[in-house]
Structure 1
Amino acid sequence: MSQRSTRTLTRFGIAVAGGALTALTVVGPAVAADSAGSANNPPPVYKGRITAKSGLLLRDAPTRGSHVIRSEPYGRVVSIFCKTTGDTVDRNNLWYLLADGTWAWGAAHYISNIGQVPRWC
């Protein structure tokens, strides 16, 4: 698969994921309860801390050559929506889709999990 095809599919996945989050926000707890099984068991919130000393560049696809959207400084706690495989960074091919206002991918090698490991996208 070409890098352009991968980027297009990734953007489509981000749009779908973003739409799902918007639906949860607009419709309210009833939808969230249905997707999680019960109102007393909401979906988990995943968190991570940026460990790259010079900060972490966040990209529009889980690849090292994709467009940089923004960056996060060392030590910042970020919200993680899900994980997927992508380009390998120091023997780690996992990437996290961050949901902190702008959907962006960060190499998991530079994000330390706080609590549960994120679900697969």
Structure 2
Amino acid sequence: MFPQSKSGKFGLLALCALSGVLAGVFAAGPAMATDGSEGDNLAAYEARVVAEDGLVLRIGPSTHYRVVGSKEYGSVVGIVCRVKAERIEGNPVWYKLSDASYVWSSRRDIVRDGEEPRWC
């Protein structure tokens, strides 16, 4: 399969090098796909923040998850999909944004044009 030297080590070295290259390609692939502003292209829906206090972004769909940022009043956010999770003020719907953060919002806090985002 692989060329071998008299010591038999060449084939093993080639296999190790090839597996290292493939591992690097697969590990870097997802990071490159979502790097920078290209993440906004993943959003199927856009919405505008109309909550006067803005929205809190978290790493998961619950207040138990760490806060990773916020969106100010008037910001446009890309929504990928929605999930049912922790119920806040009677509403269990959280939105997954194009930057992979999650945000809870009453329907009064985000204005969307068109249909509801798909379920994740």
- Asked whether the two chains share a fold, i.e. TM above 0.5, the reply is yes
**Alpha-carbon offset, residue 116 of structure 1:** 1.9
Using structure 2 for the length normalisation, give the TM-score: 0.59
Structure 2: give runs of 5+ residues left out of the alignment: 1-29, 35-41
Tell me, in whole angstroms, the C-alpha distance in 2 between the residues paired with 1:82 and 1:44.
8
Per-residue deviation, residues 9-68 of structure 1 (Å, max 9, x unmatched)? xxxxxxxxxx5xx39xxxxxxxxxxxxxxxxxxx98211121221111100000012101
Alignment of 1:42-121 (within 5 A): 45-99=44-98, 102-109=99-106, 110-121=109-120
CA RMSD after TM alignment: 2.3
Counterpart of 1:108, as a letter, is S
Identity %: 32
Tell me, in whole angstroms, the C-alpha distance in 2 between the residues paired with 1:87 and 1:53.
22
State the secondary structure of the residue aligned to 1:117.
Answer: coil
The higher radius of gyration belongs to 2
Structure 1: give runs of 5+ residues left out of the alignment: 1-18, 24-42
Using structure 1 for the length normalisation, give the TM-score: 0.58
Q: 1:51 to 1:65 in 2, by over 3 A?
A: farther
Alignment of 1:18-37 (within 5 A): 19=30, 22=33
